Chain A
Amino acid sequence: MGSLFRSEAMCLAQLFLQSGTAYECLSALGEKGLVQFRDLNQNVSSFQRKFVGEVKRCEELERILAYLVQEINRADIPLPEGETSPPAPPLKQVLEMQEQLQKLEVELREVTKNKEKLRKNLLELIEYTHMLRVTKTFLKRNVEFEPTYEEFPPLENDSLLDYSCMQRLGAKLGFVSGLINQGKVEAFEKMLWRVCKGYTIVTYAELDEPLEDPETGEVIKWYVFLISFWGEQIGHKVKKICDCYHCHVYPYPNTAEERKEIQEGLNTRIQDLYTVLHKTEDYLRQVLCKAAESVYSHVIQVKKMKAIYHMLNMCSFDVTNKCLIAEVWCPEADLHELRRALEEGSRESGATIPSFMNTIPTKETPPTLIRTNKFTEGFQNIVDAYGVGSYREVNPALFTIITFPFLFAVMFGDFGHGFVMFLFALLLVINENHPRLNQSQEIMRMFFNGRYILLLMGLFSVYTGLIYNDCFSKSVNLFGSGWNVSAMYSSSHALAEHRNMVLWNDTIVRRSRVLQLDPSVPGVFQGPYPLGIDPIWNLATNRLTFLNSFKMKMSVILGIIHMTFGVILGIFNHLHFRKKFNIYLVSVPELLFMLCIFGYLIFMIVYKWLVYSAETSRVAPSILIEFINMFLFPASETNGLYSGQEHVQRLLLVVTALSVPVLFLGKPLFLLWLHNGRSCFGVSRSGYTLIRKDSEEEVSLLGSQDIEEGNNQVEDGCREMTCEEFNFGEILMTQVIHSIEYCLGCISNTASYLRLWALSLAHAQLSDVLWTMLVRVGLRVDTTYGVLLLLPVIALFAVLTIFILLIMEGLSAFLHAIRLHWVEFQNKFYVGAGTKFVPFSFRLLSSKFVDDMA
């Protein structure tokens, strides 16, 4: 709990890594994830850093691995993912690994290249056979239908296939045939027509089976075409156009024998190619299978290696180049772990001089680290979404664990709905180790991450549901109502009591539609219901009026308590940061302002609840009027809540009025006084610098460059100090703005808490509507088939309950609860201007290598 209340204490440590052991040390650190490195070479551009060569090598390895993964995926070989992540490879193994991978890549590239070549060859041959088959039918058709050929003398008609015979006007008849992509056919034909001005005849037919495109590997539809033309020149043009449309042109056989011969030759070649291709593919598969075994660990190892070199790039060298100096942020509690990790790293590399560390004092604000577990993580995330806490600031997440589900439940108060939500969350919690839940996507993941929040939200909703006595909009009569209807009948009372009471008899009951129970009649009200709202209100027509008054007062009370608590937390902050004057000059006036106005309001509400009973309810004054009168000092005397009320109220007003100028001017004036007087403040500061200098001398023993750096730091420090020039105007302005915001905020924030009432009202009404519109209608049908009707009605009821009441309403209540925490609660004390502690940890590297490499 201690660690959740404030972020952990951090210190700046300098690591002195012997250049031989630096890699191993960082590897050990990365496995543990203890420290956050600071970039010491910020003004050195990325390609001028020391280890850029090694990073390049890692990138080269990554490229090879990406290629391997791609090939393995293409061959549909499963990639085994190791359970444990292998450590970063020792430097000696890196070269070996690189060589091995490079060899593998070269081999693989060669084999795949061969395979592609063979495939392409095969495809071409297949295309050729298809073309031959299809064009054969063309020619027959031509003979039968094309009028062009009728111009030839009938003698030659028989030997049409004889190329040499076809001479007309001195021009040769030529053929170009091939395959063309389906999408390009139309444009191709148009272009042919335009260029050759109709001196060509194009016939084409669609190929029945789609073939693979050798260039893109896509399976698409093809057309086989045959162009017959006259003349050399046109032939050239036709060929160029074919080139332009990326047609696959194959030589066209002129005679039937030739065609047959070619076809036979092709068939044997295709057979041969098939066997060769098969063998190549088998071999390739073997190679890939072997590679697939180690590829996972290699990917992880290279990633780790690259991460280490990135971190080493942030370190600076000392003059002798024997030692790397890194500056890291480390939680104080983990310092011994850090030492051990360094020792381990040095031991592993077998270095003679161990790497070591020492802490250095600093004025910079360290990053914020709040350790969370799976339970607190969700709540911490809610707070972090607003802003990561400043270093050592009070962390609202601790209180959010209870207040968040509670405020949610106030808006979501329904026993049934809450229980359903609780069950759902419980299911998630029980199965939290299930692998499918861990890898779920998007919305499910959101629910999964917030499972503990949901669990608490459900539990609290059950509680508030019990208080509101609402279960799917119906009340449950657990303990027996405290109201007795029969006591209202005149027959149950002695005549003497009848005088000033309105009692019922049979005629009244029969005639009037609405009757009112009178609690002042003895026996009618037997005492409060033990837990929550009396179930009899569920039947009352004035139920809403009663509940509204109750919920409105409740939300104001809860809101003011919540905000006051926020202001009190501010006091803890001031205590911790040694700014006691802030307590007297800021927090106390703030508290007085809030309590004197709104605390008094709560007092009045509670007082009225306690003092006035059913008998005296007629003379009870309205709190609203009283509260307004507190500010307006009306001339006419009202009877008020209690005697001496006027004086108490005057006093409270005076206190409120006095706290405002204190709030506005107190802090700036005090700081001004401090600045001019230079009392205790200055002494402590010089003491601090003395300590600093001492420790810097220690540091300076270790290397001459350090001194320079130390000097730089001292200079930096000086500059910082001079920058902290006292600017009265600015302080005054900030304080005035803060005060105005606070004073106005007190009013508007209190009003803002009324959303608790509004949402809970909306939720209750919505579930009520759902009940009356659906289930009641279903239950009213009292014929026999009504039972059958109930089934879909209940189903619809369940679906609507889940989607509208649970998910939609739940989401809206969730958002409002978040807002109440972020705006109304946290702005009372939480700055949230910190940076998150991001340790150098291998666990943060994404372990899903397929995603980012594919």
Chain B
Amino acid sequence: MLEGAELYFNVDHGYLEGLVRGCKASLLTQQDYINLVQCETLEDVKIHLQTTDYGNFLANQTNPLTVSKIDTEMRKKLCREFEYFRNHSLEPLSTFFTYMTCSYMIDNVILLMNGALQKKSVKEILVKCHPLGRFTEMEAVNIAETPSDLFNAVLVETPLAPFFQDCMSENTLDELNIELLRNKLYKSYLEAFYKFCKNHGDVTAEIMCPILEFEADRRAFIITLNSFGTELSKDDRETLYPTCGKLYPEGLRLLAQAEDFDQMRRVADHYGVYKPLFEAVGDGNGGKTLEDVFYEREVQMNVLAFNRQFHYGVFYAYTKLKEQEMRNIVWIAECISQRHRTKINSYIPIL
């Protein structure tokens, strides 16, 4: 990529960047959250959301309102926006968008395979799939019995195909293998995305690389945390870590040897970025979970992405922020509908 993107960035992507910045301004404010938390019923939530940028997106829903209805409508709204961006994008931004959808596609594929394993009907699971990661071949996923089958028959023409190179095997797909498949897919996906951003250069690389590095490291930590007490061997575990993060290579090697949370924390202590995060984690009762801390950090990075101009990171950041906002609303709505108000304040504020 040539230097000086600011000279011609706007020719191709100026409209979309302007649009996404406008969309970002419509994220809920702190005041909105304060009002939402005060709501007594889901109807109240609906009325308050009407005064925000969501508008009357729930107007055509018949009573009674449920959390899942709110969730699907919000997802639909995000999806509409995303589709609009994508339909109006030019290369290489459209490739960037494709990369963004890949992670949702992986999730959907895994979800469907898990569903097939539990003998649930495809339609039932289809509803739960994220609309951003929807593709036609998706529903045929349960034909396959082994990963290579899956690749050859179903996914060879989808954008997911290149990520399969590491996980071609003839193992039957049981629960563990599916989980391994997911992590391997995700690993190669992240690495490919990272490479794409790095090659693109310019501000996009400067913004996106740290975000993706963080994403990779977060996965490494989470994989480690989840593998404690399972039959996953340490070598296998190491093969699942995405190698594009800050932890690579030393940290990942150490992480692979970790056996409990304290050892993990000790690995994180070597890194200035992750040390404060692990320190913020509360122990046992009351404090924040590691996941929440990671989410907060992610939100922070995404918000900062808007401080620079002429790069693609804003689209990624906006989608992620919107997702976080949806998670927050769902959390608040869940708390309200289950009359469980004590934890209602533990949403992740978007600055």
A residues in contact (CB < 8 Å) with B: 45-48, 52, 55-56, 59, 62-63, 66, 184, 187, 190-191, 194-195, 237, 240-241, 243-245
Contacts and interface: CB of A to CB of B under 8 A. Distances in A.
B35 interface: yes
Residue among A59, A66, A191, A237 with most chain B CB within 10 A: A191
B156 A194 contact: yes
5 contacts: A59-B59, A187-B157, A191-B153, A194-B156, A244-B137
Interface string B12-35: 000000000000000000000001
B122 A243 contact: yes
Given A45-B48, A191-B140, A244-B139, 7 more contacts: A46-B48, A63-B59, A194-B152, A194-B156, A243-B122, A244-B137, A244-B140
A48 B139 contact: no
A212 to B, nearest CB: 21
Q: Is the interface of B mostly helix, strand, loop or mixed?
A: helix
A60 to B, nearest CB: 8
A46 B139 contact: no
Nearest to A49: B47
Interface stretch (B37-45, B166-174, B255-263): B37-45
B273 interface: no
A388 B138 CA distance: 58
Nearest to A62: B59
Contact of B137 (A46, A191, A243): A191
Residue among B39, B43, B60, B136 with most chain A CB within 10 A: B136
B136 A245 contact: yes
A194 B151 CA distance: 10
Nearest to B39: A47
A59 B47 CA distance: 10
B44 A195 contact: no
A240 B142 contact: yes
Given A48-B38, A63-B60, A195-B153, A243 B139 contact: yes
Contacts, number: 56
Interface string B138-149: 111011000000
Interface in B30-73: 35, 38-39, 43-44, 47-48, 50-51, 59-60
B333 interface: no
Contacts of A66: 59-60
Contact of B143 (A45, A46, A190, A240): A240
Given A63-B59, A63-B60, A241 B140 contact: yes
Contacts of B203: none
A55 B50 CA distance: 13
A59 B46 CA distance: 12
B190 interface: no
B161 to A, nearest CB: 12
B154 interface: yes
A42 to B, nearest CB: 13
4 tightest A-B contacts by CB?
A: A244-B139, A244-B140, A47-B44, A47-B47
Contacts of A241: 140, 143
B70 to A, nearest CB: 15
Contacts of A187: 136-137, 157
Residue among A47, A66, A190 with most chain B CB within 10 A: A47
A815 to B, nearest CB: 26
A797 B51 CA distance: 56
Contacts of A63: 59-60
Nearest to B34: A45
A52 B47 contact: yes
B38 A191 contact: no
Contacts of B154: 191, 195
B308 to A, nearest CB: 35
B47 A244 contact: no
Contacts of B59: 59, 62-63, 66
Nearest to A238: B143
Contact of B38 (A45, A55, A243): A45
A47 B153 contact: no
Given A56-B43, A191-B154, A195-B153, A184 B51 contact: no
B305 to A, nearest CB: 31
Contacts of B38: 45, 48
B47 to A, nearest CB: 4
A71 B290 CA distance: 52
Contacts of B152: 194
B143 A195 contact: yes
Given A47-B48, A56-B47, A184-B136, A237 B143 contact: yes
A146 B43 CA distance: 64
B98 to A, nearest CB: 17
A725 B218 CA distance: 56
Contacts of A46: 47-48, 50-51
A368 B48 CA distance: 31
A126 to B, nearest CB: 25
Contacts of B137: 187, 191, 244
Contacts of A243: 122, 139-140
Contacts of B47: 46-47, 52, 55-56
Nearest to A59: B59
Contacts of A55: 47
B209 to A, nearest CB: 35
B239 to A, nearest CB: 28
A59 B137 CA distance: 41
Contacts of A195: 140, 143, 153-154
Contacts of A240: 140, 142-143
A62 B59 CA distance: 9
A240 B60 CA distance: 34
A45 B35 contact: yes
A237 B152 CA distance: 14
Contacts of A191: 137, 140, 153-154
A241 B138 CA distance: 10
B60 to A, nearest CB: 7
Nearest to B142: A240
Contacts of A47: 35, 39, 43-44, 47-48
B51 A244 contact: no
A55 B48 CA distance: 13
Interface in B222-281: none
Contacts of A237: 143
B77 to A, nearest CB: 18
A122 to B, nearest CB: 24
Residue among B39, B47, B122, B154 with most chain A CB within 10 A: B47
Contacts of B44: 47-48
A237 B143 CA distance: 6
Contacts of B142: 240
Nearest to A240: B143
B27 to A, nearest CB: 18
A48 B38 CA distance: 9
B83 to A, nearest CB: 17
Contacts of B48: 45-47
A187 B136 CA distance: 9
A83 B143 CA distance: 63
Residue among A45, A56, A184, A195 with most chain B CB within 10 A: A45
B186 to A, nearest CB: 24
Interface string B155-189: 01100000000000000000000000000000000
Contacts of A190: 157
A191 B137 CA distance: 9
B135 to A, nearest CB: 11
A158 B152 CA distance: 39
Contacts of B143: 195, 237, 240-241
A493 B305 CA distance: 91
B56 to A, nearest CB: 8
Nearest to B123: A243
Nearest to B47: A47
A113 to B, nearest CB: 13
Contacts of B35: 45, 47
A229 to B, nearest CB: 14
Contacts of A48: 38, 44
Nearest to A63: B59
